[in-house]
């Protein structure tokens, strides 16, 4: 299934990397034709016009595919307090406007709350708030001609299938970004929280079987167990996930975008070499064949 789909292997671009147009150009020179720009503060406040123009020039020259990752720190799109939720939505709307200027293919977002969802009545209010935010984001994305994509959380809230299905009930618009590391982290934390109304923990295959035809984006990275906790966004090699097994699962879906969301090296530092990322991207491209868009240069 999905063997005739044109797939892109890409990398994230965020504020901590430096000036984003320079970073994008560097990735283009190494063979990537897809990036996901994370609009962390202060990027969603303002991006200088000359930076925007240069990104658009690079996009046209190299046929670059751009995805957007919405900010998530300090945002509470599932807050039962409407003042907080609407303030978060205001920022999301700014980001969608910027995504439109960039000609983004999709807009990926998380819906979070830090309220006491272990209490059923609070959880119900949070899910209702999440639905309101979801519909508002969908409407704005459709107006901007950008595909809305929601990502599974590495938390108790919206970290399992039961809650995701409740959120997406009767919804046929939003697509799914499946983050493989978040599945493991959420499963780990949910196993410690025995609240029936929050639903069961799930495996990667559970998620694929449930949302196979809605998975627009994969976020790939490894998870490492450190004492009694799981840490994600590691490079593959010594963790709980196997890149070859993930590739086989990707083949079963209609996914177009495969993002290597890797920020940590095997020693736990944030010094991941681009050459190591390229090796993983090459491995994926070789396994997926000619339909995969990546021709990396080490």
Query: For residue 109, what pLDDT is reported?
Result: 98
**Neighbour-count burial of 283, counting CB atoms closer than 10 A to its CB (0-12 exposed, 13-18 middle, 19+ buried):** middle
Instruction: Annotate 31-58 with DSSP letters as a single string.
Output: T--EEEEE--TTTTT---HHHHHHHHHH
Query: For residue 88, what pLDDT is reported?
Result: 98
Q: Whole-angstrom Cα distance, residue 146 to residue 161?
A: 25
Q: Whole-angstrom Cα distance, residue 10 to residue 280?
A: 11
Radius of gyration of the chain from Cα atoms? Answer: 18
- Give residue 11's region: left, alpha or beta (phi > 0; psi -120 to 50): beta
pLDDT at 155 over 80: yes
pLDDT at 240 over 80: yes
CB 222 within 8 A of CB 215: no
Give which of 293, 298, 297 is closest to 35, Cα–Cα.
293
Query: For residue 296, what pLDDT is reported?
Result: 74
Q: Which range, of 63-72, 244-253, 262-271, averages the lowest pLDDT?
A: 262-271
pLDDT band at residue 2, thresholds of 50, 70 and 90? very low
CA dihedral 136, 139, 144, 150 (to 10 degrees): 70
CB 176 within 8 A of CB 150: yes
For domain 7-293, which CATH number applies: 3.30.870.10, 3.20.20.150, 3.30.1360.200, 3.20.20.70? 3.20.20.150
pLDDT at 1 over 50: no
Question: Average pLDDT of 173-194?
Answer: 93
pLDDT at 298 over 70: no
Q: Whole-angstrom Cα distance, residue 107 to residue 77?
A: 15
Phi and psi at 147, nearest 5°, equal -75, 125
Question: Average pLDDT of 231-245?
Answer: 95
DSSP 290: G
pLDDT at 23 over 50: yes
DSSP 173: S
Q: What are the CA-CA distances from residue 159 to residues 168, 174, 249, 273 (Å)? A: 13, 17, 20, 30
Model pTM? 0.96
- Give residue 70's region: left, alpha or beta (phi > 0; psi -120 to 50): beta
Q: Which range, of 67-81, 140-154, 257-271, 281-295, averages the lowest pLDDT?
A: 257-271
Query: For residue 194, what pLDDT is reported?
Result: 76
Q: Which range, of 1-10, 62-71, 158-167, averages the lowest pLDDT?
A: 1-10
pLDDT digits (tens, 9 = 90+) for 42-66: 988 888 999 999 999 999 999 999 9
Question: Average pLDDT of 129-146?
Answer: 98
Query: For residue 238, what pLDDT is reported?
Result: 85
Q: Which range, of 80-89, 99-108, 182-191, averages the lowest pLDDT?
A: 182-191
Composition of the chain by helix, strand, coil, percent to 5: 45, 20, 40
CB 107 within 8 A of CB 95: yes
Query: For residue 266, what pLDDT is reported?
Result: 85
pLDDT digits (tens, 9 = 90+) for 262-290: 999 988 777 799 999 999 999 999 999 98
Q: What percent of the chain shows pLDDT beyond 70?
A: 98
Query: For residue 192, what pLDDT is reported?
Result: 83
- Domain definitions of the chain by residue range: 7-293
Token pair 């063979």 in the structure block, residue: 31
Question: Average pLDDT of 172-194?
Answer: 93
């Amino acid at each position: 299934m999905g063997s005739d789909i044109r797939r892109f292997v890409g990398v994230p671009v965020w504020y901590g990397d430096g000036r984003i147009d320079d970073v994008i150009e560097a990735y283009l020179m190494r063979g990537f034709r897809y990036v996901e720009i994370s609009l962390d503060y202060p990027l969603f406040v303002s991006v200088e016009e000359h930076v925007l123009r240069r990104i658009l020039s690079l996009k046209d020259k190299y046929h670059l595919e751009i995805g957007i990752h919405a900010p998530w720190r300090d945002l509470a799109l599932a807050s039962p307090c409407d003042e907080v939720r609407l303030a978060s939505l205001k920022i999301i709307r700014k980001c969608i406007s910027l995504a439109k200027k960039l000609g983004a293919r999709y807009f990926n977002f998380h819906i979070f709350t830090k309220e006491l969802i272990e209490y059923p009545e609070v959880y119900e209010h949070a899910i209702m708030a999440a639905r309101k935010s979801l519909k508002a984001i969908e409407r704005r994305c459709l107006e901007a001609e950008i595909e809305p994509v929601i990502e599974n959380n590495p938390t108790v809230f919206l970290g399992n299938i039961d809650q995701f299905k409740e959120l997406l009930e009767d919804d046929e618009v939003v697509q799914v970004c499946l983050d493989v590391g978040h599945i493991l982290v959420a499963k780990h934390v949910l196993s410690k929280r025995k609240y029936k109304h929050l639903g069961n923990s799930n495996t990667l295959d559970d998620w694929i079987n449930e949302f196979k035809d809605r998975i627009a984006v994969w976020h790939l990275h490894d998870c490492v167990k450190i004492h009694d906790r799981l840490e994600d966004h590691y490079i593959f090699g010594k963790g709980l996930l196997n890149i070859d097994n993930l590739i086989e699962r990707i083949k079963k879906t209609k996914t177009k975008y495969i993002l290597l969301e890797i920020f940590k090296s095997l020693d736990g530092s944030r010094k991941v070499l681009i050459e190591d990322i390229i090796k993983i991207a090459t491995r994926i491209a070789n396994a997926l064949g000619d339909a995969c868009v990546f021709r990396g240069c080490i």
